[in-house]
Each structure stands twice: as C-alpha cells, then as structure tokens.
Amino acid sequence: MASFEHSDDFQQAIMLLLAKAGWAVKMPSAQGTNGSTPPKGYDLEAIRGNEVVAIQLKNYRVPIKVPQIEKFFEFLELPIAERFTKGFLITSSGYTHSALTYFQQANNDKVQLALYRDNKVIRITGHENGIEPPRRELTYLGVFTCKGGVGKTTISAHLAGAFALSGYDAALIDLDPQKNLTTLLGEGVKLPGLNNKLGNTVTVYGIDEWDDRHPPDVNVVVCDCSPVLEANPVDLIKKFSYCIIPTTLNPLGLNKNGHVIKRTIEAIRRVNQTAYLFILINNYFDDESNRSRVLKEEYQRYFAELSQEDERFKFIDPEEVAIRNSKQLFYWGYHIYSGDRYQLAFNPVGGRCLPKADFLNLLDYLEEHSNLEELKRH
C-alpha cells in the first residue's frame, strides 16, 4: 500500500511540499549527549512564523495502528519535545479504523494526522474523516479460560466497550454465575459518539434474558464465560466466531496456565471448529530486562504445535497486542464502592488511557487475523 519504495523518496516529496507551502524544513540534529543518537521521535522539523512542528513520516506497507499514534503522543510530552508547538504524523498508507477512533477520542490538539495521496498532504481533522465503521453482521465473541482471576470479566467488558467506541452497539452476556458484570455495569453503559453522533451502547444481559432467536439490535455479542466449561450453554459456544483466551505471563503460572489453556481449547473445538481462538496476554508489563520476552518465547514454544495443527488458533504476540497492566483496570469496579455511576476504565488519566489504546488495538488485530468476509457467508 505504501506509495514509495524508499522512505527517503517519501521524505523528499514531503520536504518539497512543505517548502512550497512556505515552511522552513530541517532534519533533526544528531546532537545526542555522549555521542549517542537522539531518540527518533520525529523525522523532520518545520518552522513557519511561531509554529515549530515535529513531523513524523510513516511510509509503511500497512495502515498506521493505535500504538504508533500513542507513541507519537508520548514523544510530544517529553521534555525534549517541549519546544514543538505541534506534531504532524504523515503517512502514505492510511490509518486503521481503531487508530482513527483512538485519535478522535484522545482530543490531543497538539497532534495533527495527515495522509499523503496524489502528491498532496490531506489533513484529517477530528470530524470529517468519515470513519464510518465497516458493516458488521451479528458477531459472537467469547472470553474464556478455565481459571478465575485472569481478567475474563475485565476483558469482556472493555472489549464490548471498544466496539462501542468504534461505532457498534454491543451486548455483553454474563455467563459467570458470580454475575460480576451485572454488579459492575448494571444494565449497561453508553459511550460517547464520534463525529457528533449519538454514541453507542454496551448492554448487559443475563443468560436467562438472552434469546438468540430474537437478539436485540446489536452488532456484536461478547460473552463473559463461566470458568467451568460445561456451565456455558453449548448453543452459545457454537455461535462464537472468536474466542479470546486471556492469560498472564508470570513465571509460576506459565506451565499451569498453559496446561489449562490446552484443555480449554480442546474442549471448545469439540463443539466449535470454526471459531478463531486467540490467546491474549493480560496484565502485561513491558520489562526492560527482557524477562517478558523470555517468558513469551517460552509460552510460544508451548503452543507451537497447536498453532501448526490449527490454523485458526493464535498466540497473540504481546509485543504486538496485549492488555497492559494498568491502574485504571486494576481499580475498575471501584465505582461500586464510591457510589459513582456505572463506567468502563476508559477515562484518561494524565492525558493517557492504556486500556483504551489496548482494546482498540485488539479490535484491529481480530479483524486482521481472521476472515470476516468468510464468516459473513456462514
């Protein structure tokens, strides 16, 4: 999809356009202390009047995703970026639906997104980018592991929430006898809309309230499954197009969880052979000393055989998509004690919302690693 074979040519084209528009353009100076290269937060610096703009250029083959936008936001908050009045992200390959949703929701007025097309730079303002969600047939997703406390309820709720943020109405079915979702969200929540639209809903249903012959008018159904496989209605498991299997990367849990997950997958496959099964790391810590990478590789090895046998099974590389450990998710649910309204952990803290970025990123991943077109024909 990239317009240029070489990123240098892309850079040249942009520099020319900027110069034509009256900007003075500089390359970042390589003046790192002790001879080190400076952090590569931007590719060009453009100055015009009082504006000093950090420009990041992305000549990728695939559209820009949530983490790249998040990273640019982070860069612009660093002390070394203080002198910039604005940041422009210019890409030749577009943005994913989730990336645009994340950008709109972030309300970061220092950052401007743009698209390079036909030798023009087109600004994407918050409101007229037409980020209509793709059409979607009723899709069932299960969140399931035969284990408590790994984040099934947290993930179900926020996955449904991410769908709502992206423009879909979601149903959340509480299959866990503990009925946590009902306690945490009541009958449900409404999320703010994009482009001045009304917004979308996450509505909670108990299993006794759910009649799949007459589903309410929703696009997605997320099921917070009971950790006891047999306790989940088989008819519902059969309907899953996706099943998210949350687990964690702590060393003592690795073998035990791995074993549990293998059994979980065998059990699901007995009744549903077509669902995409994804192992998702929850409570992820990015670790400087590489421990998370070592553990991840260990886990990947554990599931390698299964991945080969079953082309619809995937261990999601946590460096690509994971649900990071966050204070927001840890304390999600506090509202039931503080008497606040029902809510998801999508409120930014200090301008940042890890859960929002992670769950939107997960949506992109699900669409990318499955064949929705094929599913629609079923």
Q: For residues 74 and 85, give the distance between their C-alpha atoms in angstroms, rounded to a whole number.
A: 14
Question: CB of residue 192 vs Mg ion: minimum separation in angstroms?
Answer: 26
Q: Which stretch binds ligand ADP (CB under 6 A): 36-44, 124-132, 144-152, 366-374?
A: 144-152
DSSP state of 230: G
Closest CB to ligand ADP among residues 86, 324: 324
Residue 356 contacts ligand ADP per CB under 6 A = no
**83-to-54, 87, 112, 244 alpha-carbon distances in Å:** 9, 11, 16, 43
Residues near ligand ADP (CB under 6 A), total: 15
Q: Is 325 in the site for ligand ADP (CB under 6 A)?
A: yes
Q: Are 144 and 268 in contact (CB under 8 A)?
A: yes
For ligand ADP, the binding residues in 333-352 under the rule CB under 6 A are: 333
Shortest Cβ distance from residue 17 to ligand ADP (Å)? Answer: 42
**CA torsion through residues 246, 248, 253, 258, sign:** positive
Confirm or reject binding of residue 361 to ligand ADP (CB under 6 A): no
Binding mask 135-154 for Mg ion (x = CB under 5 A): -----------------xx-
Instruction: Please list the residues that pair with 227 across neighbouring strands.
Output: none
Assign 48 to helix, strand or coil: strand
Q: How many CA atoms lie within 13 A of 187 on its CB side?
A: 1
Stretch that binds ligand ADP, among 98-106, 133-141, 329-337, 365-373 (CB under 6 A): 329-337
Rounded distance, CA 81 to CA 306, Å? Answer: 46
Distance between CA atoms of residues 14 and 138, nearest Å: 42
Give min distance, CB of 128 to ligand ADP, in A: 35
Least separation in angstroms between CB 103 and ligand ADP: 23
Stretch that binds Mg ion, among 37-45, 172-180, 278-286, 309-317 (CB under 5 A): 172-180
Q: In the complex with ligand ADP, which residue's Cβ is closer, 275 or 329?
A: 329
Write the binding mask 147 to 186 for ligand ADP: x where contact by CB under 6 A, - elsewhere: -xxxxxxx--------------------------------
Please state, in angstroms and rounded to a whole number, the distance separating the CA atoms of residues 121 and 119: 7
Q: How far is CA 97 from CA 16, 72, 100, 103, 317, in A?
A: 29, 18, 5, 10, 21
Q: Tell me the per-residue interface mask from 179 to 198 with Mg ion, x by CB under 5 A, - otherwise.
A: -x------------------
Task: Judge contact between 97 and 133, C-beta under 8 A.
Answer: yes
By CB under 6 A, name the binding residues for ligand ADP.
148-154, 282-283, 323, 325-326, 329-330, 333
